[in-house]
Every structure is written in C-alpha cells, then in structure tokens.
Amino acid sequence: MSRLQSEIERLYGTPPGEGDTAVRAVVLELARPADWPRLAQVWQGVQADLGWPAPAIAVNGVDGYQLWFSLAQPLPPAEAHSLLGRLCQRYLGDIAPERLRRIAGHPPPTPRQVAADAWSAFVTSDLAAVFADTPWLDLPPGEDAQAELLGRLSPIPAQDLRALRAEPVVHAATVAATAPAPRASDDEVRQFLLGVMRDPAVALALRIDAAKALLR
C-alpha cells in the first residue's frame, strides 16, 4: 500500500463492504462557480466555532472546491448527510442549493484524472485561492506531496460533533407562525427566511412555507 493510500484510509476508511453502511468520510462541495472565499468561511468556522480539526481542502477537477471531513467514529449515511446540512445552514444559508453537493459515504477518489488535462487534488489553504478560475491541476499531483498534506490532518473526535448535532433545525412553518411578516425595513427576518428557503437540509414543504412567508 502506498503512503498516500495509507493516509486516505487512516482518515476516511475503506469503501464499505456488504452490509457495512456507516461512513467516516463526509464531503461538502461548493461549485458552479468555484468560490473559495465562501467555502473558506466553513473551513475557518468549524475550527474557530466548533473546535474541529481542519478538514482537507480539494479542487474537484471540474468546477468547484470541496471540504473533506474525517470522522473518528463512523456514522450512518443519513446522520452524516444531516451533519453536512447543518453546516450548510450555519455557514452557507444564502447559497443557492444547486451549487452545493453533500457526499456522505465513500467519495470519488481524489486525486484522480477527470479530463485530458485536469486532475482533482488536495490543496493547502494558502494555495486554494489560486484555483478559483481553474479548479483543477494541469498535471498529475505528486503522491508524496498529497500524502504529506493529508498526514497533517486528524479525524473529528465523536464528542466534538455533539454541539453541531444538537443544534435544532429551524423549520419554516414555525418561523411563519411566530415571526412578523417581513417588511422592507425588516431585513433580518427576511434574510432568515431566505436562509431557510435555500437550505437543502430543510424539507421541501417547509422551504415552500418560507417562500410564501416572504411574499406576504
């Protein structure tokens, strides 16, 4: 086994076998277009606000950036997916849902060749902004350099997930019933409802309720 593969398995586990559904890898992608300043808010926020170790940063080789979170204790895919939804709700509530992708499971291999002259790869935080217009590498990334980058990272301890998992998901129906109808001068309420409406972690019916509340 190569050093790179060893680091990937240390952080993200191996592809689940038959009957094994729990996952250690969860990936949040922001694309179309790639927007590192916004995703950097998540990268910085989980460390400063939640005390998590830094997630890996990757360019997907096509049109966006990714954050790879490593879980020390595997979670069921639905729970891991919900965890990513709460991150979106907390940090990316104003981003259009179609620009976000949540992967709870074994993600596509990285690094890998995506097109003739485009490779996905893990990148360092200080170089991430360089790939804003071209979120790929033109040449295959060096395996030793990729392994070195991943070798600095550590999984999120199970106890450090508790704060985010305990956060309530705000339902639009509750907001519509208790909040005053948004007015031109009530920007805070309007932005709150917009965040609920655009949050892919919230049920579609509740997001529609938020949209209706905005129209009142």
Across 179-186, average pLDDT: 44
d(CA 88, CA 94): 9
pLDDT tens-digit map of 74-111: 999 999 999 999 999 999 999 999 999 999 877 889 99
pLDDT tens-digit map of 18-71: 456 789 999 999 999 999 999 999 999 999 999 999 999 999 999 999 999 999
DSSP reduced 3-state for 164:
helix
Instruction: Record the pTM.
Output: 0.76
d(CA 212, CA 216): 7
